[in-house]
């Protein structure tokens, strides 16, 4: 009869083979899965240790672990599983401060299960009555793993946008009560995707009105002015819809704070100052407000010549010209609570 030290840990063997299959699936060119759902995959998929792919290192570990399991060498299995979990904890720490990789998290979860099952007595069947040796390694690893899972999930939840959401070339984070925000939105017209942020209580209903007005294809410069008019009817929302919208607006604001921005508007342009974004072509610029800096002084949108190349808004050419509301270095917007007459 085999002693406990020389018996085959079947559960650990199963997870070792599962990890070997996953590493091979990612490592081989013909077996690469679809693009990972997190940005960390692009960062760590080609990561190498001494010129060797991280996935080949992982495959070698799972192969060696499976061989030791088949030989029934439990002490060696436990030591190898512990060393691998320690190495994975270091990788999780790096990912926590860079970007989470979902493919790596799958491998990490399998490593955790290998360690977990290798520490249980053989008389137990799989996870029944598990008694893990007291160790700080497992809770530390689990904390880092859970933190990366949360970051990966947070990365996949998009910010809340209204207006021209079909393009991500230009994104404007704004508050309806901020005069500088309204001027920026009017200047860009339909060229930008709008990401609302609630700065004052009145912004909440203004954002609801703005989303409804843009949905009926009202020109942006007119919709933003009507949205801050308290006399404008506010579309009714159910309690759960208002709660969801509140969370979405909080997420937009959290995005700003994480990037270190306090003042509004925040205008983000993808690919600038390279080729001019197609969304800024003259046909889309016809909806710019007459008071917008996108047009020459004294010229209204209707006076623009057909097919003429309109000058870009000054704040896109010279970001220092953009006025802002709030923040430590920006003057507070005096008209935050005012409505147009």
- What residues contact residue 207 under an 8 Å CB cut-off, 6+ apart? 162, 176, 196, 198, 227, 245, 249
pLDDT beyond 50 at 124 = no
Least confident window among 59-73, 136-150, 193-207, 247-261:
247-261
Q: Is the pTM of this model over 0.85?
A: no
Question: Which H or E element spans position 31?
Answer: none
pLDDT tens, 243-295? 989 988 988 888 888 777 878 888 888 765 444 545 555 444 434 333 333 33
Fold: same for 4-156 and 162-321: no
Maximum average pLDDT range among 190-194, 206-210, 286-290:
206-210
Of 309, 277, 302, 291, give the one whose Cα is nearest residue 190. Answer: 277
Of the options 1.10.150, 1.10.3470, 3.40.50, 3.40.30, the CATH number for the domain spanning 162-321: 3.40.30
pLDDT at 284: 42
pLDDT beyond 90 at 42 = no
Of 223, 208, 167, 187, give the one whose Cα is nearest residue 301. Answer: 187
Domain boundaries, the chain: 4-156, 162-321
Of the options 3.75.10.10, 1.20.1440.130, 1.10.760.10, 3.40.50.1820, the CATH number for the domain spanning 4-156: 1.20.1440.130
pLDDT beyond 90 at 108 = yes
Of 109, 17, 91, give the one whose Cα is nearest residue 59. Answer: 17
pLDDT at 146: 95
Least confident window among 28-42, 58-72, 156-170:
28-42
By the 8 A CB rule, do 163 and 190 touch?
Answer: yes
Angle at 273 between CA 267 and CA 275, to 5 degrees: 115
């Amino acid at each position: 009869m085999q002693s406990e030290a020389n018996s085959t840990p079947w559960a650990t063997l199963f997870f070792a083979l599962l990890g070997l299959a996953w590493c091979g699936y990612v490592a081989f060119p013909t077996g690469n899965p679809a693009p990972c759902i997190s940005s960390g995959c692009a960062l760590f998929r080609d990561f190498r240790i001494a010129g060797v792919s991280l996935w080949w290192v992982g495959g070698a570990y799972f192969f060696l672990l499976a061989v030791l399991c088949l030989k029934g060498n439990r002490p060696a299995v436990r030591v190898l599983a512990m060393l691998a979990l320690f190495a994975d904890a270091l990788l999780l720490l790096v990912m926590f401060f860079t970007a989470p990789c979902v493919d790596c998290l799958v491998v990490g979860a399998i490593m955790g299960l290998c360690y977990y099952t290798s520490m249980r007595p053989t008389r137990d069947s799989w996870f029944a009555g598990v008694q893990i040796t007291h160790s700080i390694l497992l809770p530390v690893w689990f904390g880092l793993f859970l933190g990366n899972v949360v970051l990966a999930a947070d990365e996949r939840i998009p910010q809340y946008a209204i207006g021209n959401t079909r393009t991500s070339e230009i994104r404007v984070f704004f508050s309806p009560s901020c005069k500088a925000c309204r001027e920026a939105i009017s200047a860009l017209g339909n060229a930008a995707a709008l990401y609302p942020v609630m700065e004052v209580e009145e912004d909440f209903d203004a954002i609801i009105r703005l989303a409804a007005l843009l949905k009926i294809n009202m020109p942006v410069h007119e919709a933003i002015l009507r949205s801050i008019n308290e006399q404008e009817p506010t579309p009714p929302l159910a309690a759960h819809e208002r709660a969801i919208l509140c969370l979405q607006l909080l997420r937009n604001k959290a995005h700003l704070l994480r990037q270190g921005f306090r003042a509004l508007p925040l205008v983000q342009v993808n690919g600038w100052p390279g080729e001019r974004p197609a969304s800024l072509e003259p046909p889309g610029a016809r909806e710019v407000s007459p008071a917008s800096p996108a047009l020459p002084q004294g010229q209204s949108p209707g006076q623009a010549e057909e097919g003429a190349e309109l000058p870009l808004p000054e704040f896109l050419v010279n970001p220092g010209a953009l006025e802002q509301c709030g923040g430590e270095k920006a003057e507070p917007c005096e008209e935050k609570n005012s409505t147009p007459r």
